[in-house]
Chains A and B, each alone.
Chain A
């Protein structure tokens, strides 16, 4: 089974990167290309045979390959100041220099941004639209704070408009049953992934694995292989040894540190084990609903960062309870203002660290060590 898991992962990765400049070597993509944000209803694009790429994910890949600094500096020189989200600085720097670990993604025919995660992404996409002079579509998801009936109607109108514009771009007609099938694939992927992450509090799993493997739920959630992959991973994970009970269970509240080999501060946390993390639940979208449009609405309008604070508090409290965590590391992320506020009502001994998920210069490791030592003392004597 382990071989099959590797085979599926490799296959998905190979397909995703095949049109990046390092591998394409001048070959043009066969399909139309969209650049999308991480919570775009990609089931619609997949159904219409449009390739889609995630600049945010690629920024994470760049940071993981330790290439982010020169790219951040380049985009800063070109006017995108360092206060902006580092995903954008890193990715735009990659475009400016045409350099990245896998080259650059194929040029977009359309740019699609959503505001169900933050409002920075649509403005970043505006900058990309100015560079490539291609159509920009911004999908507006009002979120839980708005009246459900009105927002369902509004979001559905936008989804139908997106279909119509993507039909025109691709020259294909949407087969509604295909869209339903792909949405069901996404639901299955989420279900299987939830099973995988449910073992984190009780099994000997390194958080790194989950921070990395969620990538398939982000970039290929509606592919049948993804559900298959996660179902197998869940079976394998179940067979792992039990978690080390000597170590203090900890909740990681915020993004992975993409530039870090382990994606978290492993060097400061030798007495701890990560028993829970909110990031690995963000793509656990709710695909319930009476028809495919209601399913897409529920999935994409009610993303974690589009919920009311009270719902986020409730969701986090359930996750923390399920993890059995005795303390939390809360990340004050320069690049994500919307996420930090999620943690403001977490009632758990915690240490708050200033970081950036891409730019390593924001982290003071020595200070983090001191503060984590204090957290350990609080938890052990509390």
Chain B
């Protein structure tokens, strides 16, 4: 079975999923973020996809089930609690259990706890690889860094524990921090490199945030353990604590001596749109300018190159 997953909130410990990156084809779903609408289109139009799993964390992901409900394919939305909500870990664990049961029912399979535990260990080792890549980020091109991570995420789980070899490159003094949702279009990272910018930190879901996740600690209830591990991750704006995000990011921007911030959003992505309204002021208070790149869909990189060049000149 091939299940397309939408975000880092999908518990890969339960079964293999393919992380959605891009969609090429007709686009006829409007008003939702390009990543969500492209995800829906891909699930509906790609016959090789058997199902979809996604979080219900924003207005664009809330509507996915409405579009997929008549598709005949497996689809499951996971409710992700806000940061710090009382009972969040137990509730998230129950959602993961429901997800497992829904998979078993739909595909007529059985997923044992031992399989999940084994997968959890492999994922922890995979995440350790990503953490290592992030530690060395400054000495790699950003495109290579993200390319290596995306490459890891696309492989079967058993092949994800080998640290990819990335060629070294010299860091420039034009250091930047990158924030945004999953950077499905790797060309954007290439444009950042071409503009002569060195990424010294990021809070992208597949990089800085995934690197921050704590390993699953076995305590007897594997679903609770996975939930706690996931909730330990650096926060997404969909988790409703801008205060914590600002504290973490501003501290990292200061510590890494970043001279600028590249803020990458999809059009109609409310969590990042609202966060931006206060983020730019907080960065400005540190004397750090912010470049906002707003993308229309998962393939869009128009105007990005020029904007980055102009931004690099100001640093």
User: Which one, B63, B91, B274, B280, contacts A142 given CB within 8 A?
Assistant: B91
A120 lies within 8 A of B270 (CB): yes
| A244 neighbours in B (Cβ, 8 Å) | none
Q: A138-B82, A147-B98, A337-B32 are in contact. Are A122 and B240 (CB under 8 A)?
A: yes
| B91 neighbours in A (Cβ, 8 Å) | 140, 142, 150-151, 153-154
B86 lies within 8 A of A157 (CB): yes
A86-B242 Cα distance, complex, nearest whole Å: 20
Q: How far is the CB of A202 from chain B (nearest CB, A)?
A: 32
- The 20 sampled A-B contact pairs (Cβ below 8 Å) are A79-B276, A80-B277, A83-B268, A83-B270, A118-B59, A119-B62, A119-B238, A119-B271, A126-B237, A126-B275, A127-B242, A127-B277, A129-B242, A130-B242, A145-B65, A150-B91, A154-B81, A154-B91, A338-B62, A341-B67
Q: A129-B242, A150-B91, A337-B60 are in contact. Are A84 and B69 (CB under 8 A)?
A: no
Q: A145-B77, A337-B60 are in contact. Are A308 and B65 (CB under 8 A)?
A: yes
B59 lies within 8 A of A338 (CB): yes
A122 lies within 8 A of B59 (CB): no
Q: A123-B271, A126-B242, A147-B98 are in contact. Are A78 and B277 (CB under 8 A)?
A: yes
A124 lies within 8 A of B81 (CB): no
> A69 at the A/B interface (Cβ < 8 Å)?
no
Q: How far is the CB of B202 from chain A (nearest CB, A)?
A: 21
| B86 neighbours in A (Cβ, 8 Å) | 157-158, 161
A310-B98 Cα distance, complex, nearest whole Å: 19
Q: Which 9 A-B pairs have the closest CB atoms?
A: A79-B277, A150-B94, A126-B242, A154-B91, A157-B87, A309-B66, A123-B274, A142-B79, A138-B82
Cβ proximity bits B236-249 to A, threshold 8 Å, 1 near / 0 not: 01101111001000
Q: How far is the CB of A327 from chain B (nearest CB, A)?
A: 22
Cβ proximity bits B69-91 to A, threshold 8 Å, 1 near / 0 not: 10000000101011001111011
| A146 neighbours in B (Cβ, 8 Å) | 79, 95, 98
> A376 at the A/B interface (Cβ < 8 Å)?
no
Q: How far is the CB of B82 from chain A (nearest CB, A)?
A: 4
> A17 at the A/B interface (Cβ < 8 Å)?
no
| A125 neighbours in B (Cβ, 8 Å) | 240
| A145 neighbours in B (Cβ, 8 Å) | 56, 65, 77, 79
> A6 at the A/B interface (Cβ < 8 Å)?
no
> A143 at the A/B interface (Cβ < 8 Å)?
yes
A153 lies within 8 A of B77 (CB): no
Interface residues of B in 270-286 (CB under 8 A from A): 270-271, 273-278, 280-281
B59 lies within 8 A of A138 (CB): no
> B141 at the A/B interface (Cβ < 8 Å)?
no
B274 lies within 8 A of A80 (CB): yes
Closest to B271 in A: A123
> B57 at the A/B interface (Cβ < 8 Å)?
yes
User: Which one, A120, A130, A140, A154, contacts B243 given CB within 8 A?
Assistant: A130
Besides A129-B242, A129-B243, A146-B95, 20 other A-B contacts (C-beta < 8 A): A79-B276, A79-B277, A83-B268, A84-B270, A88-B274, A118-B62, A123-B237, A123-B271, A126-B240, A127-B277, A130-B242, A140-B79, A140-B82, A140-B85, A142-B95, A145-B77, A146-B98, A147-B94, A147-B98, A309-B69
> A322 at the A/B interface (Cβ < 8 Å)?
no
A83-B294 Cα distance, complex, nearest whole Å: 12
Cβ proximity bits A318-350 to B, threshold 8 Å, 1 near / 0 not: 000000000000001010011011001000000
> A113 at the A/B interface (Cβ < 8 Å)?
yes
| A115 neighbours in B (Cβ, 8 Å) | 82
Chain B, interface residues (CB within 8 Å), range: 35 or more
B271 lies within 8 A of A340 (CB): no
A312-B5 Cα distance, complex, nearest whole Å: 25
| B241 neighbours in A (Cβ, 8 Å) | 126
Q: A85-B270, A113-B240, A154-B87 are in contact. Are A123 and B275 (CB under 8 A)?
A: yes
A158 lies within 8 A of B59 (CB): no
Cβ proximity bits A128-168 to B, threshold 8 Å, 1 near / 0 not: 01100000101010110111001101100110010000000
Interface residues of A in 331-373 (CB under 8 A from B): 332, 334, 337-338, 340-341, 344
> A81 at the A/B interface (Cβ < 8 Å)?
yes
B58 lies within 8 A of A119 (CB): yes
A83 lies within 8 A of B267 (CB): yes
> B105 at the A/B interface (Cβ < 8 Å)?
no
> B303 at the A/B interface (Cβ < 8 Å)?
no
Closest to A333 in B: B31
A79 lies within 8 A of B280 (CB): yes
Which of A122, A146, A161: most chain B CB closer than 10 A?
A122
Q: How far is the CB of A192 from chain B (nearest CB, A)?
A: 31
| B237 neighbours in A (Cβ, 8 Å) | 123, 126
Closest to B241 in A: A126
A369-B264 Cα distance, complex, nearest whole Å: 40
| A126 neighbours in B (Cβ, 8 Å) | 237, 240-243, 274-275
User: Which one, A78, A143, A337, A344, contacts B59 given CB within 8 A?
Assistant: A337
A232-B35 Cα distance, complex, nearest whole Å: 50
Q: A140-B85, A150-B91 are in contact. Are A130 and B59 (CB under 8 A)?
A: no
User: Which one, B66, B81, B270, contacts A119 given CB within 8 A?
Assistant: B270
